[in-house]
């Protein structure tokens, strides 16, 4: 893993849309079934909208029926970090980008085999790079 990317809120605001800033930097969430990747199917990788870090692969994506893109595992063991989250009166595990600390969503132990995990991720936090391409689609 490379060094962490650190920016001020002003720098993030200049780079991101208001919705991306609210979700990625202020730990918001998008409404269920509203994100472009909730039912999207494509062969490639999902990268962090803030820093370009490869987070998830299409081979690990599945339809959880929750309204958010769901993945069985991150693209690499250290692509994301997990943090204890007690916000909103719940005990959950938050998922953040390991490179820039962008809030991505949460992970739950109710996914399909072989991992049994469901990384429930906000679409707005992701960019999709088609297999064999070097730029987001």
CA–CA separation, 56 vs 17, rounded Å? Answer: 22
The total number of residues shown for the chain amounts to: 137
Q: How many CB atoms lie within 10 A of CB 66?
A: 14
Catalytic residue among 97, 100, 120, 125: 120
User: What does the DSSP assignment read for 15-78?
Assistant: HS-HHHIIIIIH---PPTT-STTSS---SEEEEETTT--EEEEGGGEE--SSSS-EESS-SSTT
120 is catalytic: yes
Residue 105 near residue 122 (C-beta atoms within 8 A):
yes
Which residues form the catalytic set? 120
């Amino acid at each position: 893993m490379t060094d962490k990317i650190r920016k001020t809120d002003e720098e993030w605001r200049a780079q991101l849309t208001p919705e991306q800033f609210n979700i990625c930097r202020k730990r918001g969430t998008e409404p269920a079934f509203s994100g472009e990747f909730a039912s999207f199917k494509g062969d490639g990788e999902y990268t962090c909208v803030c820093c370009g870090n490869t987070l998830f692969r299409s081979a690990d994506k599945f339809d959880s029926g929750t309204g958010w893109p769901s993945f069985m595992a991150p693209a690499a063991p250290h692509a994301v970090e997990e943090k204890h989250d007690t916000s909103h009166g719940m005990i959950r595990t938050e998922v953040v980008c390991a490179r820039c600390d962008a809030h991505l969503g949460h992970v739950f132990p109710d996914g399909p085999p072989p991992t049994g995990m469901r990384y429930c991720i906000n679409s707005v936090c992701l960019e999709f790079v088609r297999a064999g391409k070097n730029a987001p689609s």
